[in-house]
A and B are shown apart, each in its own frame.
Chain A
Amino acid sequence: MNEEKEPILRAENISITFGGLKALDRVSLEINPGEIMAIIGPNGAGKTTMLNIINGFYKPDEGRIIFEGKERPKKMKPNLIAAQGIARTFQNLALFTGMSTLGNIMVGRTMLMHSNIFSQALYWRFSQKEEIEHRAAVERIIDFLQIENIRRTPASMLPYGLRKRVELARALAAEPKLLLLDEPMAGMNLEEKEDIARFVLDANEELGYTIALIEHDMGVVMDICDRIVVLDFGEKIAEGTPDEIKADPKVIKAYLGTAGG
């Protein structure tokens, strides 16, 4: 990795409070293009809050976010942030249950489709051509994530593991510059975890996506991530490569624990 590369996203001194609780306290982090970065930490450390701030759900009380060299205005709507190229998945699944797998993934391409309402109503030439092009792109993602057989299944009827995968597909369909994954492997068995880890690696290496993820499975995190940021009680306590993190006494004390307990 090129050391001098400008980070794709830089969060500087982010603070946010909920009621009296300081969820994040002057946290800064950087995400470099082309890397897989992990945010880890114990429950309630502010990991998901950080993700929510990055994609615009929450507005930070203090601090600023610089995406691709441009500072983000204070009150920017999440859909505009998505249009800049940030996509994410959710810790608690957020699939559109009334639609099929295909429909869910097609929604992911909403920002890339431009035919207006009248052209869509006629379903004529440009609109139809666009629809077919995007359908083809979605089929490539379906193929990539190996979910061909559930293409037409309503999302409400999918088992948990596949729902997570469809959500990943939906985020990939947006072709984001930065992909945020909130516990993509939570609640999965070993085999499913291996699948998802493989997809994350492939998305990073083959498709070139920049990925930031939250995960509790340390084995997976240490194996697939280039860089790790550790949060504890809303503060950043460490940052570095997996090997550095493993050896960091503060991280061991706060989160990892020692082999002997």
Chain B
Amino acid sequence: MFYRECGNFKDNYASDMAIFPIPLDRYGFIVMLILALIVIPLTATDYWISSIMIPFYCFALSAFGLNILAGYAGQISIGHAAFMAVGAYASLILYGRYGIPLLPSILGGGIVSAAVGTFFGLPALRIKGFYLAISTLASQFIIQWVIVHWRWVSGGVFGTVEAPDMQIFGWALDTPVRKYYLVLCIMILLITFGKNLVRGQLGRNWMAIRDIDYAAEIIGVNLYRDKLIAFAVSTFYAGIAGSLITFCYYGAANIEEFHVMVSFALIGMIIIGGLGTILGSFLGAGFFVLLPIAINQSLGAFMDVVPSDILSNIEAIIFGGLIVLFLIVEPYGMARLWHTIKDKMRLWPFPY
């Protein structure tokens, strides 16, 4: 009753092809924007902003990058955390060692990551599916090894690269709120670009490759070029996300933060959130970043009764159980769940 498509007429293609053709969706999006831009920075505590919201945005961005590759273009990558690491180290070195301004450094991190990602995307030209998965898993370990053992990059096996104080045009980014804005602005910008890409011709080519590659080729899609572009764009996003999370959250680039488990978590995010949707990237990142904290907080009440080692195991068990539960309830991810709800709302209260 509240959610209506009808009575909403278009008289040109531009408005029909808008991102949110339905007014209610548009209003909902604006509300979310206000929430993120104004309400959260004003009301949330420093802990919430710097330890929850910033990693959430960074992982959402990285998950979206992986979603471009896996959800849209149908090419799997089990090494995405490594590309985050590449972006992180590259931007830190550019900024800290060479004194390049912050924003170009972050961009540079993304570009270096994209270059490395394109290289590791080359096997995708010949193999797909499980075989590609294994070859990208190799990229994870190769990059990890190179970063650890290349002293110029990391300064040795136990080395970390400290993030120096950040400045944009002489304006220090020292408080959590300022860092929050940096992350948020870059994220919104990149998500907008990404949305434009996936709804444009490139996105359609990607989906065509994902669905039936030979038919895509017959109709004129350049498989090689578009697969490599998917790898480049996807790892570009990973690189930016990696450099943002290092600058604004970890404070130092350490390879342990970009371990293979993070790659698996990213894949989990897009599968639980929903492959091939932007909303899904956010929902999945929320699931993986926010939910463990929520479980942790709510179990804190039993701290006196249950020993803490058992408690932390229970946390993991509950989290794992929820993953399985969500996949049973909605195998296509939380974004699909949201669409189902919208479909129901469209007919409510007369479901016939």
Q: Choose the segment among B34-42, B219-227, B340-348 that binds chain A (4+ C-beta atoms closer than 8 Å).
A: B219-227
Q: Are the C-beta atoms of A132 and B17 separated by less than 8 Å?
A: yes
Tell me if B207 counts as interface (CB < 8 A to partner A).
Answer: yes
- Spot the interface stretch: A39-47, A115-123, A190-198, A245-253: A115-123
Q: Which of A97, A103, A108, A135 contacts B219 (CB 8 A)?
A: A108
Say yes or no for A113: interface residue by CB 8 A criterion.
Answer: yes
Query: Does A110 contact B211, Cβ atoms closer than 8 Å?
Result: no
A55 x B218 contact (CB < 8 A): yes
The stretch among A28-36, A74-82, A142-150, A208-216 that forms the contact with chain B is: A74-82
Within 8 Å of chain A (Cβ to Cβ): is B336? no
- Whether A162 sits at the interface, judged by CB under 8 Å, is no
Q: Which of chain B's residues have a CB closer than 8 A to the CB of A171?
A: 219
CA distance A123 to B201 in the complex (A): 11
- Chain B, residue nearest A84 (CB): B220
> For B197, what are the chain A residues with a Cβ–Cβ distance below 8 Å?
117, 120-121
Would you call A113 and B201 a contact (CB within 8 A)? yes
Kindly list chain A residues whose C-beta atoms are within 8 Å of the C-beta of B200: 115, 120, 123, 127, 131
Within 8 Å CB of A107, what residues of B? 204-205, 207-208, 216, 219, 221
Which residues of A (72-114) have their CB < 8 Å from a CB of B? 77-79, 82-83, 87-88, 90, 94-99, 103, 106-111, 113
Bound CA–CA A94/B214 (angstroms): 9
A170 within 8 A of B: yes
Q: How far is the CB of B131 from chain A (nearest CB, A)?
A: 22
Does B6 have its Cβ within 8 Å of any Cβ on chain A?
no
Q: Determine if A103 and B17 form an interchain contact, defined as CB atoms under 8 angstroms apart.
A: no
B1 within 8 A of A: no
Q: Contact check, B217 vs A79: say whether CB atoms are below 8 A apart.
A: yes
Name the contact of B17 in the complex, choosing from A108, A109, A135 (C-beta under 8 A).
A135
Q: Determine whether A57 belongs to the interface, using a CB cutoff of 8 Å to chain B.
A: yes
Nearest-neighbour CB distance to chain A for B96, whole angstroms, equals 29
Determine whether A136 belongs to the interface, using a CB cutoff of 8 Å to chain B.
yes
Docked-complex contact A106 and B204, CB < 8 angstroms = yes
- The answer to whether A50 has its CB under 8 Å from any CB of chain B is no
Check if A229 is an interface residue, CB within 8 A of chain B. Answer: no
Tell me, in angstroms, the Cα distance from A77 to B218 when the chains sit together.
9
Tally chain A residues at the interface, Cβ within 8 Å: 40
Contact A77 B217 (CB under 8 A): yes
| Cα distance A170–B204 in the bound complex, in angstroms | 13
Contact at B212–A96, with CB atoms within 8 Å? yes
B169 on the interface (CB 8 Å rule)?
Answer: no
The answer to whether the Cβ of A128 comes within 8 Å of any Cβ in the partner chain is yes
Q: In the complex, what residues of B have CB within 8 A of residue A87's CB?
A: 218-219
Which label, helix, strand, loop or mixed, suits the secondary structure of the B interface? helix
Q: Please, which residues of chain B bring their CB within 8 A of the CB of A128?
A: 14
Interface string of A153-175 (1 = CB under 8 A from B): 00000000000000000110010
| Complex Cα–Cα for A99 and B194 (A) | 18
A174 CA / B215 CA spacing, docked (Å):
13
The answer to whether B17 touches A131 (Cβ under 8 A) is yes
Is the Cβ of B204 less than 8 Å from the Cβ of A110?
Answer: yes
CB contact under 8 A between A117 and B202, given known A94-B215, A98-B210, A132-B14: yes
Shortest Cβ gap from B157 to chain A (Å): 39
User: Residues of A contacting B222 with CB < 8 Å?
Assistant: 79
Taking the complex as formed, is B193 at the interface, i.e. its CB lies under 8 A from any CB of chain A?
A: yes
CA distance A140 to B223 in the complex (A): 28
Q: Are A90 and B215 in contact (CB under 8 A)?
A: yes
Taken together as a complex, chains A and B put the C-alpha atoms of A19 and B153 apart, in Å, by: 53
Shortest Cβ gap from B208 to chain A (Å): 5
Distance to closest chain B CB from A2 (angstroms): 30
Known contacts A106-B201, A131-B201; A82 and B218 CB within 8 A of each other: yes
What A residues does B205 contact at CB under 8 A?
A: 107, 110
| The one of B14, B196, B211, B223 that contacts A120, using a Cβ cutoff of 8 Å | B196
List B residues 223-238 near A (Cβ within 8 Å). 223, 229, 233
Docked complex Cα distance between A1 and B205 (Å) = 38
In the complex, chain B residues whose CB is within 8 Å of the CB of A123: 196, 200
Given A117-B197, A120-B202, A131-B17, verify A94-B220 contact (CB < 8 Å).
no
- For the complex, what is the distance from the CA of A139 to the CA of B17, rounded to whole Å? 13
Asked whether, in the complex, the Cβ of A110 is within 8 Å of the Cβ of B220, the reply is yes
**Interface contact B17-A97, CB-CB below 8 Å:** no
- CB <8 Å contact, A120 and B201: yes
Verify if B13 is at the interface (C-beta below 8 Å from A). Answer: yes
On whether the beta carbons of B204 and A99 are closer than 8 Å, the reply is yes
Interface presence of B276 (CB below 8 A): yes
Question: Which A residues are in CB contact (< 8 Å) with B201?
Answer: 106, 109-110, 113, 115, 120, 131
Least CB distance, A138 to chain B, in whole angstroms: 10
Given A96-B216, A120-B201: 9 more A-B contacts, CB < 8 Å: A77-B217, A79-B223, A94-B215, A96-B211, A106-B201, A107-B216, A107-B219, A123-B200, A170-B219
Show 5 residue pairs from A and B whose CB-CB distance is below 8 angstroms, ordered by the A residue.
Answer: A78-B217, A110-B220, A120-B196, A123-B196, A135-B13
Task: Give chain A's interface residues, CB within 8 Å of chain B.
Answer: 55, 57, 77-79, 82-83, 87-88, 90, 94-99, 103, 106-111, 113, 115, 117, 120-123, 127-128, 131-132, 135-136, 139, 170-171, 174
4 A-B pairs with least C-beta separation: A82-B220, A94-B215, A96-B211, A111-B220
